[in-house]
Amino acid sequence: MRLQKLSINGAVLIEAEPFSDQRGIFARFFCADELKEVLGDRQIVNVNYSRTAMKGAVRGMHFQYPPKAEMKFVRCIRGSVYDVIVDIRKGSPTFLQWFGAVLSEENMQMFCVPEGFAHGFQALEDGVEMLYLHTEFYSPELEGGLLYNDPVLGIKWPLLPTDVSKRDNHHGTIKKTFIGVAI
């Protein structure tokens, strides 16, 4: 695996190094030893899967508040998505900066989304499937989200959003979410 540090402090894009022969391909998708630099002493405690039916659908921007903030490893295993992370760590030199990249079954790239980041994606085709590895258990009482189209963030989604959940449409804006909250 190759680790590419991103312009947003702490975020990493991970590239698989597939082996191919006449049978097909083999690629390591996760190795705690190879990812020790970013994983540290954390352990993966939860693995989740999602399938998004419609091209243009947006999921996000999700995070968990401390003390249950989580690091996520996010990979597209079928189709392709435009995946976005936002630094929501108050005091960070990259606070409120976002980074987006296409993750696909073809490029086999994976985001390492550190604690204190919001995450979401837009399906670039029908029937995309995502795999998420988490370092913290899901805690509904500490779940948070940002509005995917918050003008302060200015995320440039590649397609017109075609489907957004009721929950994701009701996340707060940056101004409402971070008044008096330490992330």
- Does the pLDDT value for residue 64 go beyond 90? yes
Q: Per CATH, is 2-17+27-177 categorized as 3.40.50.10800?
A: no
Percent of the chain with pLDDT over 90: 86
pLDDT single digits (tens) 77-101: 999 999 999 999 988 999 999 999 9
Q: What confidence category does residue 178 fall into, taking pLDDT thresholds of 50, 70 and 90?
A: low
Amino acid of residue 121? F
Please report the pLDDT score of residue 9 as a whole number: 87
Single pTM value for the model:
0.92
Catalytic residues: 62, 132
Q: Give the mean pLDDT of the chain.
A: 93
Which residue type is seen at 83? Answer: D
* Residue type, position 73, single letter: F
Q: What SS3 class is residue 84?
A: strand
Angle at 118 between CA 72 and CA 140, to 5 degrees: 75
Cβ–Cβ under 8 Å, residues 145 and 62: yes
pLDDT recorded at residue 179: 55
Determine the pLDDT at residue 105. 96
In one-letter notation, the amino acid at residue 100 is: G
Q: What is the pLDDT of residue 168?
A: 95
Which pLDDT value is given to residue 183?
41
For the cut 60, the answer to whether the pLDDT of residue 107 exceeds it is yes
For strand 80-87 and strand 72-78, is the pairing parallel, antiparallel, or unpaired?
unpaired
Instruction: Decide which of 55 and 10 is more confident.
Output: 55
Give the mean model confidence (pLDDT) for residues 43-65: 96
Average pLDDT rounded to a whole number, residues 17-38: 91
